[in-house]
Amino acid sequence: MERITWDQFFMAQSHLLALRSTCTRLAVGATIVREKRIIAGGYNGSISGDEHCIEQGCYVVDNHCVRTVHAETNALLQCAKYGTPANGADLYVTHFPCLPCTKTIIQAGIKNVYYAKDYKNNPYAMELFAKAGVNVAHIPFDEAKIDFLQDDKLQLTLDMLEKLRTFGASPEELAPLEEKVDKLFGQLLKV
């Protein structure tokens, strides 16, 4: 197994945090890092003690769920709660920050924002980051890097394709399935 970079490591942490999200519309995770050490993490979800979207559904106002606190804000609030300065730190987040989170990130003194996926990237957010001197970088993340069963899943898929061949599936019928396997796993091992 290849060793992942620091950026991929912290982005993987953000993706793991996103698995704790209680939002049914978009699961987001954020990790705050200083000198290659994780100082805080957050995911989008309801405030402590309130109903969660996964239990009650989203509370949507103006096409935005107002029930949740965003991952970036939760991570910054964790810093505040435990007295850990965020000033000068880096933020790794699964999706491009929304405009309100952008303002919070800038006010907290975050110097670098690394995000894995574009999501309604607001041009004004980019303008604010630039004015504040915050470096923003897209760090593509391969979620398969944290799927420790990927090899088993690939083998099962290839076994099923082979079984379909034995049952008489034509190359034309198998071609779209093989393309999907290739997209999912990045490689199609011919059996």
CA–CA separation, 52 vs 31, rounded Å?
22
Annotation says 35 is catalytic = no
- The angle at the Cα of 183, spanning 179 to 188, to the nearest 5 degrees, equals 65
CA–CA separation, 150 vs 129, rounded Å?
37
What size, in residues, is the chain?
191
- For 136-158, b where at least 16 C-beta lie within 10 A, e where not — what string? beebebeeebbeeeeeeebeebb
Which among 80, 122, 79, 77 is positioned nearest to 97, based on CA atoms?
Answer: 122
91 contacts 113 by C-beta, under 8 angstroms: yes
Residue by residue, DSSP assigns 151-165 as HHHHHHHHHHHHHHH
Alpha helix (H) residue ranges in 111-170: 123-132, 150-166
Catalytic residue among 72, 172, 173, 179, which? 72
Active site members: 72
